[in-house]
Structure 1
Amino acid sequence: VLGTDELNAYLNKYGIELDPQLAFIVGRHSRKPWTKFINAENQHLALPEAIDFLDKLLRYDHVERLTAKEAMAHPYFYPIRNAESSRIRT
């Protein structure tokens, strides 16, 4: 899904050497766009906020990946926060 180019960039950035056997097993793969996984059965779930949230969570580099606090503040959760705020006010 994330592709091996990004994996190799991550490994190089942090000076990590991948075991040659594992590198052989992993092979080379291009990154797949998230939209490739959307079909008629799941398109109702594939909101732009959901795709953005997924993209920001699934990163090789831990520095680029959302923290738990950042993830909970993501716009994907706005409807839940807004509903909860409304419920508390009533």
Structure 2
Amino acid sequence: MSIDEIREEIATIDAGIVDLIIKRQSLAGMMAHEKVKAGRPPVDPAQREQVLARAVDRAVEAGIDPTGVREIFNRLVLMSEEKQRGCMGDGNLP
């Protein structure tokens, strides 16, 4: 594979990652509505830790940097929490 072909494949993967983030944010909005119905707060520290642990475990299994993966997933979780707060009327997002 040439450098240009590799870069093209990486760009395709990057677009897919953004699409998955969009889907994740949409699900966070749905989660917010369910949490409102259940009378639960937008942030669940135990669930946050489960998500992070699951990502780190997968990174270790795959032989990639678990610290970097944890940082990425921490940011994803923070984005989801902010989305949920916004949907619940207590955040910076619509």
The two structures share one fold, judged by TM-score above 0.5: no
TM-score, normalisation: structure 1: 0.28
TM-score, normalisation: structure 2: 0.27
Query: Which is richer in helix?
Result: 2
